[in-house]
Amino acid sequence: MTRGLKRSGRLLAGGLALALVAAGCGFGGDDEGGDDSGDGTTISFLAPSYSDNTKPLWEGIIKDFEAENPDINVDLEIQSWDNINDVVRTKLQSEDTTPDLLNIDAYASFANDDLLYEADDVLSPETADDIEPAFAENASLDGTMYGIPLFASTRALFYNKDLFKQAGIKAPPKTWDELMDASEKVSKLDGVVGGYGMPLGNEEAQAETSIWTFGAGGSWGDTDELTIDTDENVAGVEQMKKMIDAGVTQDDPGATDRTPMLNVFMQGKIGMAEGLPPIVGQIEADYPDLDYGIAPIPTEDGDSVTLGVADHLMAFEKDGSKQDAIRTFLDYFYSSKVYANFVKTEGFIPITKSAGEELSDDPAIKPFLETLSDAKFYPSNNPGWPAAQGAMQQQIGTIGQGADPAEVLGKIAEAAESGS
C-alpha cells in the first residue's frame, strides 16, 4: 500500500551524504524534467552511463514504450559517473528537481527518509515475483523492497584448460581441498606464476576475501549488525593463508590488484582466478586463443555460493501522482525480451527469472546465471560497512606476511565499530 508522502517541498539533502558514500556512484544533470507535460504524464529518469551502449539502449526502449503508451513521456537524462556527486547534491535539494526514477546502487538512506515508493507500489505482482529472491532480499529493508534490482554481477571460477590438461587435472575443483590440490599441480608447471590468483591489494580485497568467508558459511552481517570476526569468517581467511603459505598463489598477494592479476591469467600464466561476467568479453577481444572454462566457486564443503552485486532503480514518491505511469514503464522495461536485450548488451546478468530463461543458452552468461540463487552480498546498508571495507582493503593482505587471520579480522571489526 502506498504510504503517501507528507513532506512536499522538503529538502532531501539530509540523507544524501550517506547515500553517496555507500554508492560511490549516482546520476546528475542540468535539465530539471519530471513535470507533467501537455496532456500526458512525464516521468523524469536519471541514469548513469555504464558504456557507450547505455544512452542509445535507453533511448530505444523509451521510444518503443512511448509509442505503445502515448499518454506517458519519459524524460531521460544520462550522466557520467565522474559528475554524479555534484549533480546529486544539486538535484535533490528540492522535490521539484528530484527525479521520479533514479538508477544508482544505494537506496537505503532515501528509503529510511521515507522518500521512496515501496517496490510493490510501482511493480505489478507479476514483475515483482519475477525478480530473483536473493536480489529482492538484498534490495529490501525490514522485509520491504525499496530498491528495484537493475542487473547483477556475480563471481565464478575461471580456469585454464590447457594448464589443467598439462597438470593432469580432469575437472575444476569444487572444494577447498580440491582447489589446493589443483593449485599445487598447476603451480609446478613451467612458466606459471601461480596455480590460483589471489588479489588482496587495495582494488578489491574485500571481494576476494568475501568469496572465502562466504565459502566457509560466513557473512559480514546485515543492516543492523556487522559480523566481521566470526568463527566462519576466520576459517575462510585461514584457508586463504594456507594457500599463500603453500606457495600456490602468485607472489605477494597483498600487493596484487584484481585487474592486473586477471590480465596475467588471460596471458596463460595463472591456472585459476575468480572473475566477473565482463571478463568473457575481454578474453574474446584480447585473448581469443585462450582455452578456458568457467565453474562455480570452490567452497569448504562444495556447496555453491557466490558474491553478488547489484545496481538498483528506485522511484521517488513525491506527491504520489505518477505511481501508475511509473508502474507502466517499469513493467514494460522488465518484460522478458526488452530487459534481456538491455542486460545482454550492457554485459551484465539479468535478475529476473524470465530474462534468465531468454538468455539461458548464451555461453557467456549461462555460468553466471546458474549462480544467482546462491548469491550473498555485502551489508552495504549498514553504516559501518564502508569503514569495514576500507580496513579490509588495507589489512587483509598482511596474512601473506604472517599476520594471524583472527587478529586481522579483529582489527577490521574494531575499525568498523569506530568508523575509521
Choose one of 357, 375, 393: the last residue of a domain.
375
What are the helix (H) ranges across 156-257?
Answer: 161-167, 176-187, 205-215, 231-245
> 252 and 362 share a domain?
no
> 223 and 245 share a domain?
yes
Contact status, residue 126 vs residue 322, Cβ threshold 8 Å: no
Phi-psi category of residue 86: left, alpha or beta, with phi > 0 → left and psi -120 to 50 → alpha: alpha
Q: Which of 365, 366, 368, 304 is nearest to 174 (CA)?
A: 304
pTM above 0.85, yes or no: no
Mean pLDDT (whole number) for 20-35: 38
Average pLDDT, the chain: 89
Phi, psi of 117, rounded to the nearest 5 degrees: -65, 145
> 93 and 209 share a domain?
no
For residue 365, what pLDDT is reported? 86
Report d(CA 46, CA 314) in Å as an integer: 10
> 54 and 102 share a domain?
yes
CA distances to 31, 57, 197, 337, 416 from 358, rounded to whole Å, are 36, 18, 33, 7, 42
Query: What is the distance in angstroms between the CA of the first residue and the CA of the last residue of the chain?
Result: 39
Report d(CA 420, CA 368) in Å as an integer: 35
> 319 and 395 share a domain?
no
For residue 23, what pLDDT is reported? 45
**Binning pLDDT at 50, 70 and 90, where does residue 27 land?**
very low
- Does the pLDDT of residue 89 top 80, yes or no? no
Report d(CA 215, CA 220) in Å as an integer: 12
Contact status, residue 223 vs residue 108, Cβ threshold 8 Å: yes
For residue 85, what pLDDT is reported? 62
Residue 284 domain flag? yes
Residue 68 domain flag? yes
Mean pLDDT (whole number) for 251-280: 96
> 284 and 333 share a domain?
no
The residue among 184 and 152 whose pLDDT is bigger is 184
For residue 419, what pLDDT is reported? 79
If residue 45 lies in a helix (H) or strand (E), which one and from where to where? strand 41-48
Sheet with strand 292-295: strands edge to edge: 194-196, 270-275, 156-160, 292-295
Phi-psi category of residue 114: left, alpha or beta, with phi > 0 → left and psi -120 to 50 → alpha: left
For residue 396, what pLDDT is reported? 98
- Does the pLDDT of residue 45 top 60, yes or no? yes
Report d(CA 178, CA 184) in Å as an integer: 10
- Does the pLDDT of residue 73 top 80, yes or no? yes
Mean pLDDT (whole number) for 155-170: 98
Helix (H, G, I), strand (E, B) or coil at 364: coil
> 128 and 175 share a domain?
no
Angle between helices 54-68 and 323-333 (to 10 degrees): 120
**CATH code of 196's domain:** 3.40.190.10
Residue 137 domain flag? yes
CA distances to 48, 63, 251 from 42, rounded to whole Å, are 19, 13, 56
Contact partners, residue 377, CB within 8 Å, separation at least 6: 134, 138, 307, 308, 309, 310
Give the DSSP letter of residue 314. Answer: E
Q: What percentage of residues in the chain have a pLDDT greater than 70?
A: 90
Mean pLDDT (whole number) for 328-336: 98
> 148 and 160 share a domain?
no
Mean pLDDT (whole number) for 56-60: 98
> 339 and 254 share a domain?
no
Domain count for the chain, please give it: 2
Range of the domain at 346: 13-153+309-375
Residue 335 domain flag? yes
For residue 205, what pLDDT is reported? 96
For residue 30, what pLDDT is reported? 36
Q: Which of 222, 15, 255, 47 is nearest to 115 (CA)?
A: 15
> 256 and 202 share a domain?
yes
Tens digits of per-residue pLDDT, 106-129? 888 889 999 999 999 999 999 999
The residue among 235 and 90 whose pLDDT is bigger is 235
Tens digits of per-residue pLDDT, 337-381? 999 999 999 988 999 999 999 999 988 888 999 888 899 999 988
- Does the pLDDT of residue 8 top 60, yes or no? no
Residue 303 domain flag? no
